[in-house]
Amino acid sequence: MFRLLSALAACTLGTGPALAAEGGAVHTGPPEFLLHLTLLLLVSALAAYLSFRARLVPIIGFLLAGVLVGPGVLGLIRDPALISAVSEVGVMLLLFTIGVEFSLERLTRIARLIFLGGGLQTGLTVGAVAGALLAFGVSGQNAVFTGCLVALSSTAIVMRLLGERGETGARTGQVALGVLIFQDLAVVLMVLLIPMLAGQGGGLGGVAFALIKAVGIIAFVLVAARRLVPPVMEVVARTCSTEIFLLTVVALCFGTASLTAMAGVSLALGAFLAGLLVSESRYGMQALGEILPLQVLFSAAFFLSVGLQLDPAFLLAHLPAVLGAVLLIAAIKVVMTALSARLLGEPPQVALPVALLTAQVGEFSFVLAAAGTALGLSFAGLGAQGTQVFIAATVLLMVLTPTLGALAGPLVGRLPQPMRAPVEEPAAEDHGAALPVADRVVFAGYGAHARLAARALSRAGVPYSVITRSPDGASELSGRGAPVLIADYTRAGLLRDLGLASARVLVIADDDAEMTARAVSVARTVAPELPVITRAETPDDLNHLKALGARHVLTPRKEIAAGILDLLTPPEFSRAEIARHLAERPAVSLTPEQQAQCEHALAASGPVFPEADVCLECIALGDTWVHLRTCMTCGHVGCCDSSKNRHATQHARTRTHPVIHSAEPGETWAYCYEHGWTR
């Protein structure tokens, strides 16, 4: 992150508006970094489109685009340092999203895969590469250095491929993730080991101190996951502000990564830990939806930056050496990774796909290579030529990774099938498992109309699920055992991962007309055939929502909750039965006698719909109440003055809503705070 800011500042100061040395003319051209970033976006979009048309994984398109626009071919991007800094952020955001998906509890389940499986893979690979090079007369320092470079795999590529194939939560994905996490942890030790191999670094004492510091930082982060972050996320989420939530999440990601980097731990591992922090709160899916567009943008920069480092002229001139390195690296990694998985007890049907997926060299190997080269170490002891061979072989292996991964299916099909299924550890849940939607009514938003309709559906025996941005609404639903997910339902990726197309119907019950229109538009792109029910306040809104694809648009002329239930209940339900299902919490109105008490009562005569049958604010605090009161202006339900928190009175004073009505069964009295009457 600091490199990115420095690069931007340097470019801006060097080419931004400034007085010319002669004549005092003002330079009005765009700063150079803006031109480079614009070119980066254009190239990324074009590469993604061409990859889609050619039915290739976008990663390959980004890598090849980087080669094409790099200094070795067209030379369009002349500031690779800036792109490298942007790509560093891309790796951070990718690891952050992975951390959000895997909570501490889930990672505990695969601790054996991380430390035993990953430890075996890394140790065996380093040992095999170093042993082979020593046999050919390479020095011990360069042999071990090369083993460290080869042992690492690309977390960004492997996790992206697993995600696109829907295998992140499968056994193959779990084993691969365990290996990759250990490799990221091992980078810490390798960074400390390289100076020792070059005869520097303070010896074992310096390494031990650095490791203790790194472990202390990681321990602090894990404690914060349980103690500090969830309360902070609760406070931020209650603002219901997308801007504040996004800024907080990004600050948490970058701040944690910077903190761990100061302790000698990689930025990417720090970002992964930040994702774990967020996953411990109930806002993980919302954070994932907010951060995903940024992650896609910066990840494209990472793969482009890898392609920029390849010199096609060197590749053609030394093609036999590069291809030989590709074959040797892939062979050693496949054999060592498969052996590690088998020693761990995994069947060949799991070990082989994991080995093929992780056969490439990782992004952190570039960091290690740069550090080692600066200290006089080189790939396979080949000097400057070895560095170029390593870069070319790494890029080719990254490009070939989807092909290697695709080979797993046919090869596994030829293996003898086991007599019984292996015992698997519990699989980590994917996004869709977070909320059941198949054959259910899905509510997007949980305002007053959705609350009433949802309770009526419960009594009618119609299953439903709710996606809401409201912490209080989520607390109410969780207390009643209803399926609920706190997330932004205008995010196409989230709705797609949930499997929205399998739902029975989508009810968009947001009170904000702009959010409603956006949700309808996004839902149409994700599930074109899914029936959508929503509401409109004005004729213009109605026509707009119909044009966007909403099948049923209810208006205030029709009682919204009754209209929703009328559309969702089976045909044999009569109007009387619908009314009966809605009758438990009917609309509240003041009697003529109560309206005559004062001008406030006349203005708030009703009807209003109680927003809940509980005090949502007490639920959010984990408290209880004595009696409930309904605000006759907006339908807010709060606890009485005999309760601990007196939320009804707080609401009346802060919102200037003076008239309340008893929400207790059988009680019909009302009260005005301004005039002090009760009737």
Give the model confidence (pLDDT) of 64-102 as tens digits.
888 888 877 888 776 667 666 766 777 777 777 777 766
To 10 degrees, what angle do helices 203-227 and 171-197 make? 140
**Is the peptide bond prior to 607 cis by the omega test (within 30 degrees of 0)?**
yes
Q: Is it the case that residue 291 has pLDDT exceeding 90?
A: no
The single residue listed with the structure tokens 């004549």 is 23
Q: Is it the case that residue 485 has pLDDT exceeding 50?
A: yes
Nearest residue to 383 (alpha-carbon basis) of 167, 138, 624, 552: 138
Q: Is it the case that residue 201 has pLDDT exceeding 80?
A: no
Question: What integer pLDDT is reported at residue 309 of this predicted model?
Answer: 78
| Integer Cα distance of 493 and 432 in angstroms | 11
Question: What integer pLDDT is reported at residue 243 of this predicted model?
Answer: 81
Question: What integer pLDDT is reported at residue 207 of this predicted model?
Answer: 63
Percent pLDDT > 90 in the chain is: 18
Give the model confidence (pLDDT) of 108-150 as tens digits.
778 888 889 999 999 999 999 999 999 999 999 999 999 999 9
Count helices and strands in the chain by DSSP H and E runs: 31, 10
Tell which wins on pLDDT, 272 or 207. 272
Residue 94: what residue type? L
CATH top-level class of 34-77+87-411: mainly alpha
Question: What integer pLDDT is reported at residue 149 of this predicted model?
Answer: 94
What string of DSSP letters covers 351-394?
A: HHHHHHHT-S--THHHHHHHHHHHTT--GGG-HHHHHHHHHHHH
Question: What integer pLDDT is reported at residue 579 of this predicted model?
Answer: 57
Tell the CATH topology of 432-582: Rossmann fold (3.40.50)
Claim: this prediction has a pTM higher than 0.85: no
When the pLDDT of each residue in the chain is averaged and rounded to a whole number, the result is 79
Q: Which residues of the chain are in CATH 3.40.50.720 domains?
A: 432-582
Give the model confidence (pLDDT) of 293-344 as tens digits.
777 777 777 778 778 878 888 999 999 999 999 999 999 999 999 999 999 9
Question: What integer pLDDT is reported at residue 304 of this predicted model?
Answer: 80
Question: What integer pLDDT is reported at residue 191 of this predicted model?
Answer: 75
* Residues 6 or more apart in contact with residue 365 via CB below 8 angstroms: 148, 149, 150, 152, 390, 394
| Integer Cα distance of 336 and 468 in angstroms | 47
What string of DSSP letters covers 246-300?
A: HHHHHHHHHHHHHHHHHTT--HHHHHHHHHHHHHTSTTHHHHHHHHHHHHHHHHH
| Integer Cα distance of 559 and 114 in angstroms | 56
Torsion of CA 52, 86, 114, 431, to 10 degrees: -50
Percent pLDDT > 70 in the chain is: 81
Nearest residue to 218 (alpha-carbon basis) of 177, 282, 274: 274
CA distances from 133 to 137, 364, 381, 434 (A): 7, 22, 9, 49
Answer CATH for 592-672 from 1.20.990.10, 3.30.40.10, 3.20.20.70, 3.30.9.10:
3.30.40.10
Q: Which residues of the chain are in CATH 3.30.40.10 domains?
A: 592-672
Query: Taking the chain, what is the end-to-end CA distance rounded to the nearest angstrom?
Result: 64
- Asked which of 36-45, 433-442, 552-561, 575-584 is least confident by mean pLDDT, the reply is 575-584
| Integer Cα distance of 142 and 188 in angstroms | 19
* Residues 6 or more apart in contact with residue 386 via CB below 8 angstroms: 378, 379, 380
Q: Which residues of the chain are in CATH 1.20.1530.20 domains?
A: 34-77+87-411
Give the model confidence (pLDDT) of 361-392 as tens digits.
987 788 788 788 888 899 999 888 898 899 89
| Integer Cα distance of 564 and 554 in angstroms | 8
Question: What integer pLDDT is reported at residue 3 of this predicted model?
Answer: 47
Question: What integer pLDDT is reported at residue 658 of this predicted model?
Answer: 92
| Integer Cα distance of 534 and 544 in angstroms | 12
